[in-house]
Amino acid sequence: MDAVITGTEDRNFDGGCHCGAIRFRVKGPLRQILMCHCSDCLKLSGTSWGASAAMLDHLTYLGTARPRWYRSSSWAERGFCADCGAQMFYRRDGRDQISIAPGAFDDSDMLVVAGQIFRHDHPSWGPVMPDDLPDLDTPQDGKV
């Protein structure tokens, strides 16, 4: 579930928010996308939320604007643009990775979905997930 996307090693990937205020660059490797169906993701994004990930110290901002951070649980926070509201990042406390929304990348063709978290909370109206998509229904360390 934490597999690297082949070909993303040592490459730079640019992205940003909807309004363009926040621009970033992240150096690979990038992790395959995990889809999350937990109640936090549903409430914050309106649907299931997917994310790739990279090493936190491989992320740099290209301008002066920075995301605002919202503590969404006792173990994690989410980064979003204060101007347009685009939710771009998820950071778990004590981890050296940062999760990045696939849509925040300027080019996301290299990304692939590898699995899902909280499958049993997936809403019946939600995005269709392939039957063979692996699950991680028991969060690592009791946290997503």
DSSP for 94-120, written as a single string = T-SEEEE-GGGBS--TT--EEEEE-GG
Q: pTM, whole model, 2 decimals?
A: 0.84
- State how far the Cα of 96 lies from the Cα of 53, in Å rounded to an integer: 10
CB atoms within 10 A of CB 40: 16
Say which CATH class 12-132 falls into: mainly beta
- State how far the Cα of 144 lies from the Cα of 59, in Å rounded to an integer: 21
| Residue range 71-126, pLDDT digits in tens | 999 999 999 999 999 999 999 999 999 999 999 999 998 888 887 766 666 666 66
90 close to 98: Cβ distance less than 8 angstroms: yes
